[in-house]
């Protein structure tokens, strides 16, 4: 197990570095700079700002400086939110995005696995077909449609939940989390259902049945665990999807998470802010993939060696 | 061909009818999608010549829906074709050559799968301006991964089949074998996955447009219409519900049809 973690971390570092450098140079190819305002600044001021932020040095040197500071945990100053460092902005945004994403994946797993289980037990019956149809519909629900639609129904019409901001207790979390979780839960339900259908036909299940074990025990002790292997391998892409969805949800519900800083930063050419957010996103996704691999090994012992 | 008319293929027919409407409506409607009716701002549905009413600056909703659907589907089909070409080229090469090359090529695909790709696409949009051409090249380049995996698997299985071995033994050059014997045999599966790629691409395009990074005004797409509707939903909920519902209907039908084709061919 430790060997697997170590090997994954060995590939994670170059991957992360490649993403950081690729985004760094892409960003610099862009026309326009962070100091373009409504009114053009005098050339002297422009030059002074460039020097102050080190933007006049050769690109490679800037990239090297950036990475070497990053290693020490310094994301640099934000160029647009002038009084803040990127670390400060990220420290504000990260907890919100992590809460949204974390709750969404938990909710999606709960709904998805139970729906898949329920459908598999009633394989071929009307309940199975209905659930699978609903799951397909759920996977096709984009967050930028469900988000505003939920806000319209529960926020504006019924007045049950707040439409924007993070103020009132936990109720602001409900709609963003549901909008994020829906498509993922649909996909998980389908994977669970398909996984169980294969597993329940296997010999060890027939043996368990022949020995007269109760059906619930067969399902939960012997069926579900191997059936969840495809779900575990879906967790990596799901995490990437949730982070992307979070960008929309944060915009729709006016939440100051990482996603909003990313979009704003990209539009304002706030290089350090965008790089910082991309780096964090990439690190989170890599970390989550590692976590998914560990779950994979726990679900299917044969995978632990490979 | 007659199978296409069976009841099972209703999603395909829904999509075809929507495409036909998107193509025909702009020609027969009295309003164009960017024409402003100064006498009817935020008109309710069925008022005068505006069947679904008008938006917050007096543009006909139905005309905008038709124009938006057309742009969204055009981008989606073009991008899906880009992903088809890249995916087949990559997957067929990896599957055919095999060995170390295959391993390296598929490792690359695995690595890309794990990346926050959406963010790179957003960066691309910001950097190179928001041309519609770039939107679909960008999306197509992201969505080819699954196609590459599927094609590789199919090619590897085909390679062992006697008729391919016979062609090799007869000295047929590899490129001819791939083009004449391998590709026709994977066309069905590729078509099924192409069908599944289209809703993915529709989703990405609308996502970008929703954030204001995709298709640009005065051109419109379903994503832009959803965005406009969401901004004005407290005044006119119809502005959100119509394009949102249409988008979901398209995505659901394309997904169901794609999954059915996939189950048939694999």
Tokens for A24?
């760094």
Can you give the pLDDT at residue A38? 59
Is B182 part of the contact surface with chain A (CB cutoff 8 Å)? Answer: no
Is B237 part of the contact surface with chain A (CB cutoff 8 Å)? Answer: yes
What is the Cα–Cα distance from A145 to B233, expressed in whole angstroms? 12
Can you give the pLDDT at residue A168? 67
What is the Cα–Cα distance from A71 to B100, expressed in whole angstroms? 34
Instruction: Give me the residues of chain A with pLDDT under 50, please.
Output: 306
Per-residue pLDDT of chain B (266 residues; tens, 9 = 90+): 556 677 778 888 999 999 999 888 888 888 888 788 777 777 777 777 777 888 877 788 888 999 999 989 988 888 888 889 999 999 999 999 988 999 888 888 877 776 667 777 777 777 676 677 777 777 777 788 889 988 998 998 888 889 988 998 898 888 888 888 888 988 888 888 888 888 988 888 888 888 877 777 778 889 889 988 888 888 888 888 999 999 999 999 999 988 888 888 77
- Residue A109's Cβ-side half-sphere holds a number of Cα atoms within 13 Å equal to 14
Is B256 part of the contact surface with chain A (CB cutoff 8 Å)? Answer: yes
Tell me the C-alpha to C-alpha distance, in Å, between residue A120 and each of A114, A174, A189, A256: 10, 29, 10, 41
With CA atoms as reference, the chain B residue closest to A132 would be B256
ipTM of the assembly?
0.80
Inspect the interface and report whether the beta carbons of A252 and B230 lie closer than 8 Å: yes
Distance from CA of A110 to the nearest CA of B (A): 23
User: Measured between beta carbons, which residues in chain B are less than 8 angstroms from residue A273?
Assistant: none
Can you give the pLDDT at residue A306? 46
Can you give the pLDDT at residue A34? 66
Other CB atoms within 10 A of residue B128 CB: 16
CB under 8 Å to A281, separation ≥6 — which residues?
Answer: A243, A258, A262, B116, B119
pTM, full prediction: 0.84
3-state per-residue secondary structure call for B101-146: HHHHHHHHHHHHHCCCHHHHHHHHHHHCCCCHHHHHHHHHHHCCHH
With CA atoms as reference, the chain B residue closest to A134 would be B252
Angle between helices A2-29 and B117-127 (to 10 degrees): 10
CB under 8 Å to B76, separation ≥6 — which residues?
Answer: B198, B199, B201, B202, B205
């Amino acid at each position: 197990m430790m060997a697997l973690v170590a090997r994954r971390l060995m590939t994670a570092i170059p991957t992360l570095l490649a993403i950081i450098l690729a985004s760094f140079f892409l960003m610099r190819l862009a026309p326009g700079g962070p100091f373009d305002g409504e009114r053009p600044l005098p050339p002297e001021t422009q030059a002074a700002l460039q020097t102050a932020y080190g933007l006049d040095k050769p690109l490679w040197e800037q990239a090297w400086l950036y990475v070497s500071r990053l290693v020490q945990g310094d994301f640099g100053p934000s160029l647009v939110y002038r009084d803040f460092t990127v670390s400060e902005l990220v420290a504000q945004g990260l907890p919100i995005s992590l809460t949204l994403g974390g709750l969404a994946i938990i909710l999606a797993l709960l709904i998805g696995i139970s729906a898949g289980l329920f459908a598999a037990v009633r394989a071929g019956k009307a309940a199975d077909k209905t659930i699978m149809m609903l799951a397909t519909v759920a996977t096709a629900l984009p967050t930028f449609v469900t988000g505003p639609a939920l806000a319209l129904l529960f926020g504006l019409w019924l007045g049950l939940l707040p439409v924007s901001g993070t103020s009132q207790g936990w109720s602001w979390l409900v709609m963003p989390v549901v909008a994020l979780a829906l498509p993922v839960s649909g996909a998980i339900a389908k994977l669970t259902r398909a996984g169980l259908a294969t597993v329940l036909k296997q010999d060890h299940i027939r043996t368990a049945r022949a020995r007269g074990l109760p059906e619930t025990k067969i399902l939960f002790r012997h069926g579900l665990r191997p059936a969840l292997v495809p779900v575990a391998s879906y967790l990596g892409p799901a995490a990437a999807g949730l982070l992307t969805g979070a960008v929309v949800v944060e915009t729709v519900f006016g939440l100051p998470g990482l996603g909003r800083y990313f979009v704003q930063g990209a539009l304002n050419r706030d290089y350090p802010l965008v790089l910082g957010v991309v780096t964090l996103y990439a690190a989170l996704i890599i970390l989550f993939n590692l976590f998914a691999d560990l779950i994979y090994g726990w679900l299917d012992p044969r995978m632990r060696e490979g | 061909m007659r199978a296409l008319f069976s009841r099972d293929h209703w999603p395909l027919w829904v999509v075809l009818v929507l495409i036909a409407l998107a193509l025909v409506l702009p020609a027969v409607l009295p309003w164009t999608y960017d024409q402003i009716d100064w006498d009817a701002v935020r008109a309710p549905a069925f008022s005068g010549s505006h069947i679904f009413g008008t938006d917050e600056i007096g543009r006909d909703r139905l005309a905008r829906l038709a124009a938006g659907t057309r742009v969204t589907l055009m981008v989606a089909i073009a991008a899906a074709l880009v992903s088809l070409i890249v995916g087949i080229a990559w997957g067929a090469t990896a599957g055919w050559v095999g060995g170390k090359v295959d391993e390296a090529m598929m490792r690359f695909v695995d690595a890309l799968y794990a990346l926050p790709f959406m963010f790179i696409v957003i960066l691309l949009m910001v950097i190179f301006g928001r041309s519609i051409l770039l939107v679909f090249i960008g999306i197509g380049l992201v969505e080819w991964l699954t196609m590459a995996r599927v094609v590789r698997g199919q090619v590897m299985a085909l390679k062992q089949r006697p008729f391919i071995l016979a062609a090799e033994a007869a000295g047929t050059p590899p490129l001819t074998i791939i083009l004449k014997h391998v590709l026709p045999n994977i066309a069905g599966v590729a078509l099924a996955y192409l069908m599944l790629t289209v809703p993915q691409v529709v989703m990405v395009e609308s996502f970008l447009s929703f954030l204001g990074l995709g298709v640009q005004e005065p051109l419109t797409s379903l994503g832009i219409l959803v965005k406009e509707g969401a901004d004005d939903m407290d005044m006119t909920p119809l502005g959100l519900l119509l394009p949102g519902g249409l988008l979901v209907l398209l995505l659901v039908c394309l997904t169901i049809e794609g999954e059915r084709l996939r189950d048939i061919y694999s």
